[in-house]
Amino acid sequence: METKWKDILMYVFSSIIIAGEIFVVGFLIYIWFIGTPTADPNIINLVYSMCIGYHSGFMLVLGYHFGSSKGSAEKTKIIGDSNKLMAESNK
């Protein structure tokens, strides 16, 4: 049961990061076509820094779901399940 909630939370947080990245890309496209707003340059730099942070998080999410970390976690779960089955069959 613990693994189920862990998986659910992982997908929820991943979805939030992906939605944020979609918003950030849309925002950057808007700025590219419309132009930079006339605001304090420090605020603009802060917004760009937040965009870079979201992009980094997005890349981590992609790396986890399509990289070796996801496969490694599944492999560890399978090995743990097989060890439980072997222990039960030896009783």
pTM of the model: 0.60
Q: Give the tens place of pLDDT for each residue, 9-64.
A: 888 888 888 888 888 888 878 877 887 667 777 877 887 888 888 888 888 888 87
Residue from 53, 69, 55 nearest 18 by CA: 55
Domain borders along the chain are 2-89
Average pLDDT value for residue range 2-13: 80
Structure tokens, 33:
């076509």
- Between CA 59 and CA 49 the distance in angstroms is 15
Beta carbons within 10 angstroms of residue 21's beta carbon: 19
DSSP 38-64: SS-HHHHHHHHHHHHHHHHHHHHHHHH
